Amino acid sequence: MAASNDEKITAIRQKVRELLKDADPAHDFLHVSRVTSLAAYIAGKEHADLGIVVPAALLHDIVVLPKNHPLSSKSSDLAAELAKKLLDEVNYPQEKIPPILEAIRSHSFGKNIVPKTKEAQVVQDADRLDAIGAVGIARVFAVSAKLRRPFYNNSDPFPSSHTPDDNTWALDHFYMKLLKLRDMFNTETARQLAEKRHEFMKVFLDQLRSEIINPL
């Protein structure tokens, strides 16, 4: 008997778990699991096709090159290539594969693409939600620790007199990306979920400011 779509999703999930077993904590299977749950929730609210959104979310980070790698900007194209192979292996319905690959290709922040399909918009939104809030904060510092970047610029920790540069200081990433994401969601559902996470980051930054600049 041919495998059901649920069984195919389970098989994809297993393959992704295996592929990501040594991934860094900012892009590991836990990240993928959170993004997939968020994407499924948003898809339900926004009437997007779960048969596209769920596999795209599961597969969106199966190739993640480090930010300082020359091919880093190609990560999502490489992820889409490998995803095609895995989807073919589990005999995923052929007509769903191109929109899944489109969602994987267009999800990344660096490319600055507004995805064309509802399903790709949902996956991008879910991935962006996981970049902000408490989890987002944990992920920023996980990435910067791996690249051995200091937390902040000691002469101007909260960039006011220097142009933010997240290749050099972790905290600058909040000002270059994370605090801007609130206005960059595609769906109303994600925009609502983003609100609490955005506010929490501001509370975190205020507390950090008081500890660094006025600790006593």
Q: Site residues (CB under 5 A) for Ni ion?
A: 61, 127
Cβ atoms of residues 132 and 201 within 8 Å: yes
Nearer to Ni ion, 42 or 159 (CB): 42
Two tokens at 183? 């206005």
Interior CA angle at 30 toward 101 and 195, to 5°?
85
Nearer to Ni ion, 184 or 212 (CB): 184
Q: Nearest distance from residue 52's CB to Ni ion, in Å?
A: 17
What is the amino acid identity at position 201?
A: M
Nearer to Ni ion, 60 or 118 (CB): 60
Say how many C-beta atoms besides its own lie within 10 A of residue 150's C-beta: 12
Q: Nearest distance from residue 89's CB to Ni ion, in Å?
A: 22
Nearer to Ni ion, 61 or 119 (CB): 61
Q: Can you tell me the distance from the alpha carbon of 73 to that of 71, in angstroms, rounded to the nearest whole number?
A: 6
Q: Nearest distance from residue 60's CB to Ni ion, in Å?
A: 5
Q: Nearest distance from residue 27's CB to Ni ion, in Å?
A: 6
Strand ranges inside the chain, DSSP E: none
Residue whose entry in the numeric block shows the structure tokens 């930054």: 205
